[in-house]
Amino acid sequence: MTTNISAETLKRTIAYFYMLSFCPPTHLKDFNSASGELRKRLAKEAGMAQSKFFPEVVPQVCWRMVAFSQNSREPDKKLVDQLGKTAKDASKSQKALAAFQEKMLEIAALPGRAKDDNRLHRKKGCRFCETPCRYGYFSLVSDPHFNLLQRILEAETSKAKDEQNPISPVWAFAISHLMRLLGTDQGFISAEHLGNLAFCLLMLSIAKSRYPLPEQQITAFQAANQRLIQNWPA
């Protein structure tokens, strides 16, 4: 692996590939256009042309993704290579993106993180997640601004009880997080990914706080969250 790519650049590149994995294939063209400046900036930070940077960085990105999902410092090289093969072409066509997303789902289902007892913050709410750990690593490397989420939730709880809707502000925070990372005023993510990512970000924010887990509220939130995902227009 090359060593001239900084840790911060690598983190943002991992986040980029996660955002690509969240994007509906039918929106790939718009995603590529919106993420153009981000890709240029990442390559420039590494002192490379994009045509060299991404082939160089993909093995490092995939090694770390698989290592996280396997919860291992020595991830399976075959899985790393398989993921890398799909990742390097993921932005080139809808078919290639779908293949990358299928492989990402397979990696996320590895028992190293997917099993309830192995989840990132299992004692702080991850056991209530409805999916394998598809968002935990992204939530770590993308540095969410949880102070903003806290302000959003405080504003929501200040409303009259019959006017409160905690799901909408958490979804809004998740989409604003994606837009901040892309550097655009657009987000490209399916309702399924958005709802489950929002829940993951909420769990990470609780894990980072010193407050006890409000289990009853979390289970009620997750039930309503899943209903919203299922009822979202296709």
State CA 194 to chain mean position distance.
9
- Look at residue 127 and tell me whether its pLDDT is greater than 90: no
Q: What mean pLDDT do residues 205-219 have?
A: 80
The total of other beta-carbon atoms located within 10 Å of residue 56's CB is 16
Structure token digits, residue 28: 């790939």
User: Is the whole-model pTM more than 0.95?
Assistant: no
Question: Residue 114: which pLDDT band, with cuts at 50, 70 and 90?
Answer: confident
pLDDT value at residue 177: 96
pLDDT value at residue 120: 75
- The answer to whether 76 and 66 have CB atoms below 8 angstroms apart is yes
Element (H, E) at 82: helix 77-87
- Look at residue 8 and tell me whether its pLDDT is greater than 70: yes
Question: Residue 206: which pLDDT band, with cuts at 50, 70 and 90?
Answer: confident
Question: Residue 3: which pLDDT band, with cuts at 50, 70 and 90?
Answer: low
pLDDT value at residue 10: 97
- % of the chain with per-residue pLDDT over 90: 70
- The answer to whether 150 and 137 have CB atoms below 8 angstroms apart is no
- The answer to whether 169 and 158 have CB atoms below 8 angstroms apart is no
Question: Residue 1: which pLDDT band, with cuts at 50, 70 and 90?
Answer: very low
Q: What mean pLDDT do residues 60-69 have?
A: 97
Question: Residue 163: which pLDDT band, with cuts at 50, 70 and 90?
Answer: confident
Q: How many CA atoms lie within 13 A of 64 on its CB side?
A: 19
